A and B are shown apart, each in its own frame.
Chain A
Amino acid sequence: MSEEQKTRVVDILLVEDNPGDIRLVQKAFEKAKLKNMLHVVETGAAALEFLKKQGEYAEASSVDLVLLDLKLPDQNGLDILRAIKTDPELKRIPVVILTSSEADSDVVSSYDRHANAYLTKPVDFTGLLKIVRELDDFWLSLVKFAPHPDA
């Protein structure tokens, strides 16, 4: 990983509509003392707007990693996943599915649409903390991201 990536703040977009789950993830990031910005959007449409820096998100930062829930109020998360992974400007951004479903069909559909990883939301906070720490160890410390198109 480049020195630059180590020191700069990593921008993560959480796409999640359940306020309780949003809070838990925010808390977990806090406790894991991660140096990154956690942006939150609650609908699939808002997620795409944020990623493409459209509408109210015109000034949004470039996103390094997306945490995507499959159960969204306006659309199926799988469709958002596909939209990201087929967009030439967005498809390089790693998308990690973080959802409550353990169903094989959802796992398969996600990987079919080129999700980078699939995680099931743990029931307790300790489990979530573990996930966030592992996220940090792997995605945010070891993995190299593609440079942003505007960089």
Chain B
Amino acid sequence: MESATYAAQITLSNNAALERILRLAKAALDAETVAIYETEAEGGWSVLSATENHPEEESELIRQAIGEETEFIVPSLESHPELANHRWAMAPFEVRFLAAVAVTVGDEKKPLGHLVITDTRERCLDAAEGEVLSDLGQMCAEIFQLEATRATARDAEEQLEHEREEKQLLISALENSNRKLAQFAYVASHDLQEPLRMVTGFLGLLQDEYSDRLDEEANEYIAFAVDGAARMKQMIGDLLTYSRMSSSTEPYVEVDMELELGRAEREIVSNYPDATVEITHSKLPLVSGRKEQIFRLFSNLLVNAIQHSGPSPRIEVGYESLEEHHLFTVRDHGKGIAQDQHSRIFEIFVSGSRDSSRPGSGMGLAICTTIVEEHGGRLWVESMPGEGATFYFTISRGDPHE
């Protein structure tokens, strides 16, 4: 409470409520002047509110007279001759009567201020009037406390605002960092295309034109190099795709999931001309999303299913309508995924098998995760070895960026 009470210092002046107390004190106690003082941090007093005729220049004297007393009522100088030598008594001071009550809050012994009435007439207060003064002091305390609470609330709000600003700065910094990273990934993978082209192109020519003129070992060397280059090509392509994901400016439109699945199917068929792939699906809805990303999502999931299936892959695509999301499933009957691999497979550059003859990526599922997250959803898998795998993904209904 301590810090809050001193915070009250600045704001209580001109308070209408304090003025009401002044009027009440004047009326109920027939006081000539009434003042409400606030105790400052260094011990001095400042006037918060006072009647017009209050002898402000005597504030310091009044303060000294009252000192540490919590209740100080002087009926008259005459009846308290011991005060005759008091500095206050000897000063050219018009006040003949002074009554004050300290304003304290809760258990706090130190007064927050004082309510003081003065009079140039000699008089005294009876018990009832003393009680009135006491009550008025209590009312002052309640106002002080209210103001302190308000001040705490204001501080808290300032703090919140400050934290909000900091959070905003952090978010901006993060967004900036992400942007730079995506840019870097794009530039790196884009610039790598040319040297990759040189390596792949001429290795291919080498194989084509010189394989019959080279011995078996040389051809093996070339084969290893070609294989490495093919994998490098796949990785760089994936990096490019991945980096484009986060900086995509594709608009959100109404996407026909069946249409995009169909497109993905056709691409698969042209890339795997030797495989007999059977893809079935239940009725799929229209969703709000990014068309090209959805196409890639299906593409990658289908490729993944085919890679882990045998010679005749069977894939089923299902749909369930949830309250806030669309839930899709892509199920295959392949070799399944062990429990301890379930989260690893979504990481970048984790491949189930180092088989470069099957194009498809170490990054395929990582890209899928990014796409799904962009659409306000989640991607996960349920699978047991030998029992195929079912990939689940959700897409948020409505705008995922709201």
A residues in contact (CB < 8 Å) with B: 18, 20-21, 23-24, 27, 31, 100-101, 121-126, 128
Contact of B208 with A125 in the complex, beta carbons under 8 Å: yes
Contact of A124 with B233 in the complex, beta carbons under 8 Å: yes
**Shortest beta-carbon distance from B220 to chain A in Å:** 20
Number of B interface residues at 8 Å Cβ cutoff, please give it. Answer: 13
Contact of B194 with A27 in the complex, beta carbons under 8 Å: no
Contact of B200 with A125 in the complex, beta carbons under 8 Å: yes
Contact of B201 with A24 in the complex, beta carbons under 8 Å: yes
Which residues of the partner chain A approach B27 to less than 8 Å between Cβ atoms?
A: none
In the bound assembly, the distance between CA atoms of A121 and B200 in angstroms comes to: 12
Contact of A123 with B205 in the complex, beta carbons under 8 Å: no
12 inter-chain pairs at a CB distance below 8 angstroms, sorted by A residue, are: A20-B201, A21-B197, A23-B202, A24-B197, A24-B205, A27-B205, A122-B197, A123-B200, A123-B201, A124-B197, A125-B202, A125-B205
Contact of B200 with A124 in the complex, beta carbons under 8 Å: yes
Contact of B198 with A125 in the complex, beta carbons under 8 Å: no
Contact of A20 with B198 in the complex, beta carbons under 8 Å: yes
Is B111 part of the contact surface with A, judged by Cβ < 8 Å?
no
A122 closest partner in B (C-beta): B197
Contact of B208 with A123 in the complex, beta carbons under 8 Å: no
Is B178 part of the contact surface with A, judged by Cβ < 8 Å?
no
Contact of A123 with B202 in the complex, beta carbons under 8 Å: no
In the bound assembly, the distance between CA atoms of A27 and B203 in angstroms comes to: 13
In the bound assembly, the distance between CA atoms of A149 and B277 in angstroms comes to: 55
Beyond A100-B194, A123-B201, A123-B233: 4 further Cβ-contacts under 8 Å? A27-B205, A31-B208, A123-B193, A124-B197
Contact of A18 with B194 in the complex, beta carbons under 8 Å: yes
* Contacts between chains A and B (CB distance < 8 A), count: 39
**Shortest beta-carbon distance from A70 to chain B in Å:** 13
A128 closest partner in B (C-beta): B201
Which residues of the partner chain A approach B204 to less than 8 Å between Cβ atoms?
A: 124-126
**Shortest beta-carbon distance from A146 to chain B in Å:** 33
**Shortest beta-carbon distance from A122 to chain B in Å:** 8
Is B4 part of the contact surface with A, judged by Cβ < 8 Å?
no
In the bound assembly, the distance between CA atoms of A21 and B196 in angstroms comes to: 11
Which residues of the partner chain A approach B202 to less than 8 Å between Cβ atoms?
A: 20, 23-24, 125
In the bound assembly, the distance between CA atoms of A23 and B202 in angstroms comes to: 9
**Shortest beta-carbon distance from A105 to chain B in Å:** 12
Which residues of the partner chain B approach A20 to less than 8 Å between Cβ atoms?
A: 197-198, 201-202
In the bound assembly, the distance between CA atoms of A82 and B198 in angstroms comes to: 29
5 smallest A-B Cβ distances: which pairs?
A125-B204, A20-B198, A124-B200, A125-B201, A24-B201
B230 closest partner in A (C-beta): A124
In the bound assembly, the distance between CA atoms of A20 and B205 in angstroms comes to: 12
1/0 contact trace for B225-269 toward A, CB 8 Å? 000000001000000000000000000000000000000000000
In the bound assembly, the distance between CA atoms of A130 and B16 in angstroms comes to: 89
Q: Which of B285-305 contact A (CB under 8 A)?
A: none
Which residues of the partner chain A approach B190 to less than 8 Å between Cβ atoms?
A: 101
In the bound assembly, the distance between CA atoms of A18 and B197 in angstroms comes to: 11
In the bound assembly, the distance between CA atoms of A88 and B194 in angstroms comes to: 35
In the bound assembly, the distance between CA atoms of A141 and B198 in angstroms comes to: 30
Contact of A124 with B193 in the complex, beta carbons under 8 Å: no
1/0 contact trace for B183-195 toward A, CB 8 Å? 0000000100110
Which residues of the partner chain B approach A31 to less than 8 Å between Cβ atoms?
A: 208
A21 closest partner in B (C-beta): B197
**Shortest beta-carbon distance from A17 to chain B in Å:** 11
In the bound assembly, the distance between CA atoms of A125 and B196 in angstroms comes to: 11
In the bound assembly, the distance between CA atoms of A121 and B198 in angstroms comes to: 11
Which residues of the partner chain B approach A121 to less than 8 Å between Cβ atoms?
A: 193, 197
B208 closest partner in A (C-beta): A125
Which residues of the partner chain A approach B196 to less than 8 Å between Cβ atoms?
A: 123
In the bound assembly, the distance between CA atoms of A100 and B192 in angstroms comes to: 11
**Shortest beta-carbon distance from A55 to chain B in Å:** 30
**Shortest beta-carbon distance from A89 to chain B in Å:** 33
In the bound assembly, the distance between CA atoms of A20 and B202 in angstroms comes to: 8
